[in-house]
Amino acid sequence: MDLYDKMSRRLKLTDLRMLHATVHWRSMSKAAAQLNISQSAVSKALGELEHALGVQLLDRNPQGVEPTEFGRALLVRAAAVFDELRQAMKDIEYIGNPLTGEVRIGCGEPLAAGFLCGVVERMAREYPRIVCHVFQTPTTATLEYRELRERRVEVTLGRIREPFSDEDLQADILFFDQQQVVAGKRSKWASRRKIELADLVDEPWLLPLPDTFPRLLLEDAFHAQGLRSPRPGLVSTSFNLYFGLLSTGLYLTALPQSVLRYSVLRTSWKRLPVKFRSKPTPIAAVTLKHRSLSPIAKLFIDCARACAKPLANVAA
């Protein structure tokens, strides 16, 4: 009998839960308290699991409990097991009542400020009893898909890099977003019918952080016309700050086309009639390749595709 056959008969979900809780709390006693069982029961179960596998899963030291290489390998796969079980329960609930359920989405602030609003609104109109849980995702390359890989979300909406080379992920491109120069309705530039980009270089701009992709896109559009980078008035990643300061009429900025179409505050701004050669960037729904999507996650992606159609026409 090989190890798989042996463990498929021996291994219990409760063993995996105890292992996860022990590693999470770095303590068998704390894990036992969370699971409402005795510490001796946790210690015995994990000891028997290690014996059955023939490897050490945990390192025990005065600072706490840490997983070994073998423990980490088991926990990674255990996360997939519990995730698939949760998905199965969702599928059963969906079959019983296809208009009720929930979906977990990861999304960065730029898309959350516009496009995601449109998608969630469409979901609310078509499926009013479905709940969307949104988790703000980091924009750094090493962290942007962490929530997805750890199975905390089913779908991540975001800008992708081309070519998309993450072997464990699948990217469904929805549209190509493009930056547009924007001013508040009270700005002196809002009533101008013709503006040259050179006229705006010395105005105070709301800018993303230096060396980030949105900042580079904006600066490249200026450099393409032989101009220096615009003068910073505020440097921030906060769209709430952008929206509040745009309303004063004192600042200019560049916002994605998706924000201009779907943000609830879009009537407070004016897209300026200026030539701005900002490179369109692909926006995609990203999922795990080998993870079964719930029916409700599929409905969410369908709604995202529908909301993306007007933006695809604009980009074209």
Q: What is the DSSP string of 56-95?
A: --EEEETTEEEE-HHHHHHHHHHHHHHHHHHHHHHHHHHH
Peptide bond into 204 cis (omega under 30): no
179-271: what fold? Answer: D-Maltodextrin-Binding Protein; domain 2 (3.40.190)
Question: At residue 301, what is the residue type?
Answer: I
Are the CB atoms for 135 and 112 separated by under 8 Å? no
Which stretches of the chain are assigned E, i.e. beta strand? 58-61, 64-67, 100-107, 129-136, 155-159, 169-177, 179-184, 205-207, 232-235, 252-256, 269-271, 281-288
Intervals of CATH 3.40.190.10 along the chain: 98-177+281-315, 179-271
Residue from 172, 7, 171 nearest 77 by CA? 7
The CATH number of 98-177+281-315 is: 3.40.190.10
| Amino acid 187: pLDDT | 96
Query: Tokens at residue 181, please?
Result: 């120069």
A 10 A CB-CB count for 190 gives: 15
Is residue 34 within 8 Å of residue 21, measured between CB atoms? yes
Q: Nearest Cα to 160, choosing from 255, 280, 257, 298?
A: 280
- Kindly report, as residue ranges, where domains of CATH 1.10.10.10 are found in the chain: 3-77
User: How many C-beta atoms surround the C-beta of residue 157 within 10 A?
Assistant: 24
Question: Angle between the 39-53 and 28-35 helix axes, to the nearest 10 degrees?
Answer: 110
The 3-state DSSP class for residue 97 equals: coil
What is the residue-level pLDDT of the chain in tens, covering all 316 positions? Answer: 577 666 767 778 888 888 888 888 989 889 889 889 998 988 888 888 888 888 899 998 877 889 999 988 888 888 888 877 887 877 777 776 767 888 999 999 889 999 999 999 999 999 998 999 999 887 665 567 889 998 899 999 999 988 888 899 999 999 999 999 999 999 999 999 999 999 999 999 999 999 988 999 999 999 999 999 999 999 998 999 999 999 999 999 999 999 999 998 999 999 999 999 999 999 999 999 988 888 899 999 999 999 999 998 654 4
Q: What number of other Cβ atoms are within 10 A of residue 112's Cβ?
A: 19
Read off the pTM.
0.75
Q: How far apart are the first and last CA of the chain?
A: 60
Helices (H) and strands (E) in the chain, counts: 12, 12
* Angle between helix 295-315 and helix 115-126 axes, rounded to 10 deg: 130
The two tokens of residue 225 are: 């016309």
CATH number of the domain located at residue range(s) 3-77 in this protein = 1.10.10.10
Question: So what's the pLDDT on residue 297?
Answer: 93
